[in-house]
Structure 1
């Protein structure tokens, strides 16, 4: 099959700078895979921003098309699991990392990376969730399976204006939880309350410098996307038998704490990895995102842009100025 399509391509120039251009590519340029998908929507993630500036921890080879999320329609398939016309979601695995990603009108991927779009979600809504919503869902799933319920108390969400944070707040609010959002952006307060946060605390309130191993018990659960001392402070502030799910390191990959929250308060720490999540769990989480956990006003959590607007938005993400989710209409 020969067919041209638009794609965002990151390339290294003679000055060793990484430049972004919208170019025409051909289907034959795509990697080998079982299923060809016409992408209707993608979503922007911090990994895409890192890939766009040549971060070799994300993408090793350039020229490259980032985009770790894609939702669209099967156009050709060598797999009996997927038929032409199926609506599908692809997130995680190697998409957009070292495999040409969703910031293009077509992708070609292995069949075992693909989830059929569950009833209750449109392709657009699937990308309002994307990897961020799926990760938030994995965090919430871990906390709920550990016994968290609204009667046990407040749930803290750090990095609350990012994709994972905003979707976690909205889902937890839908499930009846009292959600406390942590932010360093005063201008985001109204937005966070609108999507379901019942309380907003400044970042400095979760940056304990006292050196004490334990603080007052406040939170029955934590969804953490930032790591570092904010996570350490949150762990010291858990109630007895509470748990925290961690999925990010925006502030720091280091964690300086003690064992006391775990051995004196019986707390549990869950590490969340959405990239290599088993398919059975992946399908289960997507089903919940389409039904019980789906916020009533999902569209409030994202704004839509064109492929041509992506480079400017990636710069905002790198500067920490993005708010909520950005989806890309292909």
Structure 2
């Protein structure tokens, strides 16, 4: 299924929402570009937990205002294919861009607002020289969410930060951003993830029963801040360790008294700064696996297992 000037491939839910088995690779018309928009020929799409969570069943999809037929995926990177009215001089055909395309990024073509917002209209950011498309395709959701979490906690050189779910998609960015801010980072994960966490700059600690005692053993002085990037277990441990609610945040749960972090609320230039850091080699993005688009079900199954160390990317070239 190659692309043409009138149709392209898109991964969609057609008959029903559900797990990877419900995804279909279809040929669809190339979307038209409107005023203030760019059309992008996608080369790579990065996967995130929210991709499969919000399309896991009809009720959840409805909460996100999604209906059938529905696309899949949020992060993309590629090349501008067409430029809508009103963007003269801002974008040109051939520009390399990356960003978010709400529940439609795993497709040959996406249309997004320019520069836009990571939400439903999507957005486009120029891909810096030195940043390849596969890596750029992993940045939007996880990078913005990590930046928002960092903004809540505001770590610095005097801090020791406990990061729950440090090896996950958001954790990869949050750990390194906290380290770049000068903080010491202790990251929770499985025993198998210890080397991966050390490579990011975190001191690994196994999650689960006994976490508080293990953290005290690593940092007998004090934990000063915490980011729970998985659920609520790290928040409970951090409270027991004396961390004030004002220095904690969550991304996947709501805890009374704790400010949640939402990628949509990240500073407008946050994702561009992350891209520059990656391009400069100051922030690394481990890519655990890449799949061709016709193996998207396997890619989603791997990512949804939540045990992969790094990002999963779907190639569309």
| TM-score, normalised with respect to structure 1 | 0.75
Partner of 2:120: none
Give the match's secondary structure for 2:252.
coil
Partner of 1:197: 202
Partner of 1:266: none
> 1: distance between equivalents of 2:151 and 2:129?
20
> 2: distance between equivalents of 1:40 and 1:194?
28
Contact 2:78 2:97 in 1 (8 A): yes
Contact 2:47 2:312 in 1 (8 A): yes
Match for residue 127 of structure 2 among 111, 117, 129: 117
- Cα deviations across residues 112-134 of structure 1 (Å, max 9, x unaligned)? 23222345533333223231122
> 2: distance between equivalents of 1:5 and 1:36?
13
CA RMSD of superposed structures (Å): 3.4
Task: Indicate yes or no: 2:79 matched with 1:90.
Answer: no
Shift of 1:289: 4.1
Match for residue 274 of structure 1 among 263, 266, 272: 263
Q: How does 1:106-185 map to 2 (within 5 A)?
A: 106-111=109-114, 112=116, 113-118=123-128, 121-144=131-154, 148-150=155-157, 152-183=158-189, 185=190
Partner of 1:66: 72
Shift of 1:221: 2.1
Partner of 2:82: 76
> 2: distance between equivalents of 1:119 and 1:236?
45
Shift of 1:164: 0.4
Contact 2:33 2:82 in 1 (8 A): no
Task: Indicate yes or no: 2:93 matched with 1:104.
Answer: no
Contact 1:246 1:270 in 2 (8 A): yes
Contact 2:299 2:313 in 1 (8 A): no
Give the match's secondary structure for 1:188.
helix
Contact 2:8 2:28 in 1 (8 A): yes
Partner of 1:213: none
Give the match's secondary structure for 2:148.
helix
Contact 2:145 2:264 in 1 (8 A): no
- Cα deviations across residues 231-273 of structure 1 (Å, max 9, x unaligned)? 2332342457971232223xxx4x36xx7xxxxxxxxx44322
- Cα deviations across residues 8-31 of structure 1 (Å, max 9, x unaligned)? 11122599x972121222204x68
Query: Where does the alignment leave 5 or more consecutive residues of structure 2 unmatched?
Result: 117-122, 214-219
Give the match's secondary structure for 1:282.
coil
| TM-score, normalised with respect to structure 2 | 0.78
- Matched positions, count: 293
> 1: distance between equivalents of 2:278 and 2:38?
30
